[in-house]
Structure 1
Amino acid sequence: MRNRKRTTERGKTPAHIMLRAAREVKLNNKSIRGAGTDYDIPERTLRRFLQKVTDEELYGTNELPTTAVGYIKKRQVFSDDQEKQLEEYILKAADVYFGLSPKQIRTFAYEWAVSLKIKFPDSWNTNKCAGQDWFTYFIKSLSICTPEATSLARASGFNKHSVGNFFKNLKTVLHRLQIGHQDIYNMDETGITTVQKPDRIVARRGFKQVGRITSQERGTLVTLAIAVNAIGNSIPPYFIFPRVNFREHMLSGAPPGSAGAANQSGWMKKEHFLHWCQHFVKHTGCSKERPVLLFLDNHDSHLSIDSLDYLKENGVTVLSFPPHCSHKLQPLDRSVYGPLKKYVNTACDGWITSHPGSSMTIYDDPKIVAVALPSAITPKNITAGFKVSRVYPFNECVFSEDEFLPSYATDRPLIEQAKDDEIDRKPNNSPKPKISQDTSPQPGTSRDYSEILNADSSMPKTSEINPPLEEKTPEKQIIKNINILAKEDTELNTQKKNSQSI
């Protein structure tokens, strides 16, 4: 029985009360009946406890006894402390993106019980894993979730070093420009397809498979570029259609002031980004007398020389997010594009219902965006995105240690940086000043902003880049186990290659 309800109130005396009553009897020579009356404990219960309690507990200073008090849970395999350790291990494994499935947890619990040499049901030996009843009881304090697929680059890219450098650069830019929140912009692209993800519907009971009409099996992508500022305003959107040539009729029904372009892939390219920059300058009215700050992601289409020169001439300072960090740092990703996709799906459902027998095309996407965009790109959503990413108001201490845990298991971008740092610190009898010969724009800054960076700025120490984990922590043990498995695989592959060569 997995959810047995307690039918008696007996055996609920707290452990510290039992120990206090036992000390009254043993140390103060009080009668068992008198101590039981004073502490509201049955005489027979207190007498049984006195037979089990040890002298170390009686004469010690601990408030809680180690001797069991009350009813012991039947067939409890692990103690409460052991279950707590297992729970912490599972949570830390999930924090570093190496979470365990229910089947893996049951297998791990069985192997751990064998190693601890504790008593467990015979069915565990038969199935080589813990039972479903044990797992159902154990999982009550946890949750089974469907994880989001996260690439190794994203897990290792979001680390203290990259995020710290970004906020350091942002602080320098804000100090130099002295601009308000109305002049801080974020631009990003997203994809709008002709096949929506249908909303939930009400259907007949007993039918698990219920359909909803869509235009096609697979949709065609149209890129939508949006720019917003920290005050909650936005400029008209920019569309990129998957066609060879752009025609004005493609923007029929689009939000007022929209612009567009076309290429075979429908993705943002360098020449289209230059056109978007002109669209941005036109609607923001920025200039060298009225500078603005523009946040971009690290896509190569945003780093063309012509585009950065044009932005520099019009008083736009570009600061890019670290690679694979936009899911945490980009305001549009945090609070705008999620609601936008939801409203687009709802608008597509309405269009399909209003046009039975017709298929949606890429020329209908601007009309869909015109319906969905006002509900998603509200000042409340925009300002919430800037606030939660701490881009504005500025706050470089927003992310907790747990959010950086996935990077501890890899730290791939930081290893080479640490080696270069050690090489730079080697003593040199004839030091020479460092002169930067590369004038090309670097990821993370525009050509304009690169002028205010210090070329001799030394990188932090290795311990600052990757601080050592505390001893005996579950996450360190997880990473150690992963490294051991990787080392064993490497040695096995080497042995196979040697045997083949022989």
Structure 2
Amino acid sequence: MANSYSEEEDRIISALEAYRSGKNRNLSALAREYGVPYQRLRRRSLGTPSKIGNQNRPRLLTKAQEGAILSTIDSLSRFNIKLNGKDIEDLANLLLWRQYERDHPDATAPKTSAILPRLAKAQNIPSELKLVNHQWAYSFIKRIDPSLLPIADEQIESERAKVSAAMMQHWFDGLEPVIKQIKHCNIYNFDETGFILGQQPSRTRSIGRRRARAEVDERESLTSIECISASGFALPPFFIFRGSVLLERWFDESLDPDWVVSVAKTGYVNSDLAFEWLQHFDKHTINRAEKNEPRLLLFDGHTTHLTAEFLEYCGQAKILPFCFISHATHLVQPLDGDTFLTYKTKFRSWNRMVSQWGGDPTDKSVFLRGIREIRDETFTPHIIRGSFRKRGIYPFNPDLVVKPLTEREEREFVPLTGFDGILSDNARGIQPQPPQGDRVTSPALSSSSIEQPETPRSVKKCWQKLRKAIDSPLDRPGRVEKVERRWTRLETKTVTKYEEVIIQHNLLAKATKVRSSYTTTNRTKRQITKVKVLTTKDANARIAMRTEKENQQWVQRVRRENAKKLAEEEAAAVKLAELRRKALAGSDIDRLFEPFDIFEDREGDSSLRV
């Protein structure tokens, strides 16, 4: 790359000489004549210097500071915390600001706050303090490690993202001894898939003028239970319509007699229908297996598939049930691959065709008549066998699933403990290791950042080697070079770790602020009103009115309770006074006075107390 750039630079110099000598003042013609980029020639004519001879220009950050930023990016990436260009700019400016504070302890510049400061917008910045901009961040990443440049994030469900390579390898280890004893024609996989009647492709390329496409607002869904074999065989479908009764008009003579149509209140599979399908499966596969030969049935662990009745029938019919790992069917289930993808795509295209030409794709009878052609194009032996092969089930090859997961985990780890996990690892002296892929290491960091101590134990070992090199005989060959090399290595790593501590301290403060500002502990489900649209002002006003009303009700309730308690005390006092009066007026006064305690008060009068 350097030679081609140098050769191109020579041609640009020749073109500039011709331009400045007045032979040709047309930059476009000169660019075509000398075979150089026009924009680059134009920038050079305006005074932009060449990169040759400018590569060793002084950098704002030291090697230790750049290494600290790169280590922080790697550590955060392992926990799926990604930084953008502005975040990296803040990290670099933070280190430059702290370096300035250390070099100028008596400076009057404002001190940095605990949170990452936007130093580029700060006031009273000393003129001798040089800061970076957002463009520097991308240039730094491109120079140090181009693999860290921004890429589009892969969207995946949070539960499915937790599936690890170790979990899948454990599942394949359990499947291997079972699948080796079974012929491939007896390996089956079944699953449910849903259809929305009348659903058309979200985007289509059509030849003709653009026009709006109308679709039915309220569309009904149904479920189809499909089952395929590793040999390329597909069972007749088992359809579940939403309803309570079967209608005669759904059926006609053109339908396959082995198809099963059922109804359910929700339109989804339940325990009873799952058991009915199992009998349907046994009926159509028992003749394909030899006598006393087991059949392996792979399926997801839905509760409707794990009832006692379902599993008991499997044992009696010599069907071996084997469940996939939860939230991992998108990785290992054959039906979830090309089969269902092709099925859904062709179904939506068929809906569009029927709707476009005046048909009614929302009718169940039309669906049953049209699904035959779709199934014939979908469940071909080639697609079915390819689905089992790509999932690593038959032929048995776990690496097709485990290896991509391992590579993904090397690039970025699934979020487990968030930012606290990084700090706890560093507190224990465990430095997260960057991925070992095709990494491009900068020459500026190659010798010092690869062989430096990573843990307190390795630091201690490095100190011991340095002391041993210092204590070696003075006339030993290479003694000075060894001492200098070990000292530089230890010093660079120590400074890098110090810069990392600065970054992590500020990131921890930032994480604490975000958690305190953008999390809520109020989990109430109370509704404001039944209206559909409210501004925040109106909503807050309604909440305040409701709170004030509840406070007034609480005050009134407390007052009522206090009044009730006071009334009870007054009634008790009246009752006690009545008892006293009756006791004093009675003839057998000694017997009546037994429940009371007679005592003298301060004035000497006798009183009665219960």
Taking structure 1 as the reference length, what is the TM-score of the superposition?
0.59
Over 3 Å counting, the alpha-carbon distance change for 1:159 and 1:133 in structure 2 is closer
CA contact (8 A) 2:330 2:336 kept: yes
Secondary structure of 2:240's aligned partner: strand
1:229-272 per-position Cα deviation (integer Å, ceiling 9, x unaligned): 11221111111111112346545565562212111111111100
Partner residue, 1:163 = 168
Partner residue, 2:353 = 350
Q: CA deviation at 1:385?
A: 1.9
Secondary structure of 1:9's aligned partner: helix
The 2-side partners of 1:248 and 1:80 are apart by 80
Secondary structure of 2:298's aligned partner: strand
Partner residue, 1:392 = 394
1:395-454 per-position Cα deviation (integer Å, ceiling 9, x unaligned): 344412134567743399xxxxxxxxxxxxxxxxxxxxxxxxxxxxxxxxxxxxxxxxxx
1:238 counterpart letter in structure 2 = F
After TM superposition, the structure 1 stretch with the greater mean CA deviation from structure 2, 125-134 or 109-118, is 125-134
Match of 2:415 among 395, 409, 414: 409
Secondary structure of 2:337's aligned partner: helix
Match of 2:120 among 110, 117, 125: 125
Q: CA deviation at 1:192?
A: 0.8
The 2-side partners of 1:229 and 1:124 are apart by 64
2:219 counterpart letter in structure 1 = G
Over 3 Å counting, the alpha-carbon distance change for 1:11 and 1:266 in structure 2 is farther
Partner residue, 1:377 = 379
Partner residue, 2:223 = 223
Count of paired positions: 361
1:164 counterpart letter in structure 2 = Q
Q: CA deviation at 1:198?
A: 3.8
CA contact (8 A) 2:242 2:264 kept: yes
CA contact (8 A) 1:192 1:223 kept: yes
The 2-side partners of 1:246 and 1:486 are apart by 61
Over 3 Å counting, the alpha-carbon distance change for 1:322 and 1:249 in structure 2 is farther
- 2:153 maps to 1:174: no
Q: CA deviation at 1:162?
A: 3.2
The 1-side partners of 2:314 and 2:141 are apart by 58
Any unmatched runs of 5+ in structure 2? 12-50, 98-117, 123-130, 419-427, 436-499, 522-610
Partner residue, 1:107 = 86
Partner residue, 2:583 = none
Over 3 Å counting, the alpha-carbon distance change for 1:161 and 1:9 in structure 2 is closer
The 1-side partners of 2:67 and 2:195 are apart by 46
The 2-side partners of 1:469 and 1:345 are apart by 56
Partner residue, 1:310 = 313
Structure of greater Rg: 2
Q: CA deviation at 1:282?
A: 1.2
Secondary structure of 2:120's aligned partner: helix
CA contact (8 A) 1:254 1:369 kept: no
Partner residue, 1:338 = 341
- 2:13 maps to 1:9: no
Secondary structure of 2:268's aligned partner: coil
Secondary structure of 1:371's aligned partner: helix
The 2-side partners of 1:403 and 1:189 are apart by 29
The 1-side partners of 2:337 and 2:275 are apart by 26
1:298-327 per-position Cα deviation (integer Å, ceiling 9, x unaligned): 110100111111122111100000111101
- 2:193 maps to 1:190: yes
Partner residue, 1:22 = none
Q: CA deviation at 1:106?
A: 2.5
Supply the RMSD in Å over aligned alpha carbons: 4.8
CA contact (8 A) 1:222 1:240 kept: yes
After TM superposition, the structure 1 stretch with the greater mean CA deviation from structure 2, 268-277 or 336-345, is 336-345
The 2-side partners of 1:368 and 1:486 are apart by 58
The 2-side partners of 1:89 and 1:227 are apart by 49
CA contact (8 A) 1:159 1:407 kept: no
2:352 counterpart letter in structure 1 = D
Over 3 Å counting, the alpha-carbon distance change for 1:220 and 1:72 in structure 2 is farther
CA contact (8 A) 1:186 1:229 kept: yes
The 1-side partners of 2:153 and 2:414 are apart by 22
The 1-side partners of 2:515 and 2:357 are apart by 63
1:244 counterpart letter in structure 2 = S
Partner residue, 1:270 = 271
Secondary structure of 1:393's aligned partner: coil
Partner residue, 1:201 = 205
1:443-501 per-position Cα deviation (integer Å, ceiling 9, x unaligned): xxxxxxxxxxxxxxxxxxxxxxxxx99833258x9xx99x96899489969xx99xxxx
The 2-side partners of 1:311 and 1:385 are apart by 25
Larger relative helix fraction: 2
What pairs up with 1:343-492 in 2 under 5 angstroms?
343-355=346-358, 358=360, 360-398=362-400, 399-400=402-403, 401-404=406-409, 408-410=414-416, 471-474=431-434, 488=512
Taking structure 2 as the reference length, what is the TM-score of the superposition?
0.49
The 1-side partners of 2:231 and 2:72 are apart by 43
Among all aligned residue pairs of Structure 1 and Structure 2, give the percentage whose two residues are the same amino acid.
21
Partner residue, 2:579 = none
Secondary structure of 2:235's aligned partner: coil
The 1-side partners of 2:365 and 2:234 are apart by 23
1:147 counterpart letter in structure 2 = E
1:197-251 per-position Cα deviation (integer Å, ceiling 9, x unaligned): 244234789x8xx53232x135322111111111221111111111112346545
Secondary structure of 1:117's aligned partner: helix
Q: CA deviation at 1:111?
A: 1.4
Q: CA deviation at 1:349?
A: 0.8
2:380 counterpart letter in structure 1 = T
Over 3 Å counting, the alpha-carbon distance change for 1:131 and 1:410 in structure 2 is closer
CA contact (8 A) 2:88 2:137 kept: no
After TM superposition, the structure 1 stretch with the greater mean CA deviation from structure 2, 347-356 or 322-331, is 347-356
1:125 counterpart letter in structure 2 = A
CA contact (8 A) 1:238 1:260 kept: yes
CA contact (8 A) 2:361 2:367 kept: no
Secondary structure of 2:213's aligned partner: coil
Any unmatched runs of 5+ in structure 1? 13-67, 413-467, 498-502
Q: CA deviation at 1:382?
A: 1.7
The 2-side partners of 1:74 and 1:371 are apart by 69
Q: CA deviation at 1:383?
A: 1.8
Match of 1:326 among 306, 329, 347: 329
Q: CA deviation at 1:160?
A: 4.2
CA contact (8 A) 1:246 1:261 kept: yes
The 1-side partners of 2:96 and 2:379 are apart by 60
CA contact (8 A) 1:199 1:346 kept: no
2:278 counterpart letter in structure 1 = C
What pairs up with 1:48-67 in 2 under 5 angstroms?
none
Over 3 Å counting, the alpha-carbon distance change for 1:410 and 1:146 in structure 2 is closer
Over 3 Å counting, the alpha-carbon distance change for 1:411 and 1:213 in structure 2 is same
CA contact (8 A) 2:161 2:414 kept: no
The 2-side partners of 1:134 and 1:384 are apart by 45
The 1-side partners of 2:385 and 2:81 are apart by 33
Secondary structure of 1:148's aligned partner: coil
The 2-side partners of 1:349 and 1:78 are apart by 60
Partner residue, 1:240 = 240
Partner residue, 1:154 = 160
Q: CA deviation at 1:99?
A: 6.6
1:312 counterpart letter in structure 2 = G
After TM superposition, the structure 1 stretch with the greater mean CA deviation from structure 2, 312-321 or 191-200, is 191-200
1:245 counterpart letter in structure 2 = V
Q: CA deviation at 1:191?
A: 0.8
The 1-side partners of 2:258 and 2:432 are apart by 60
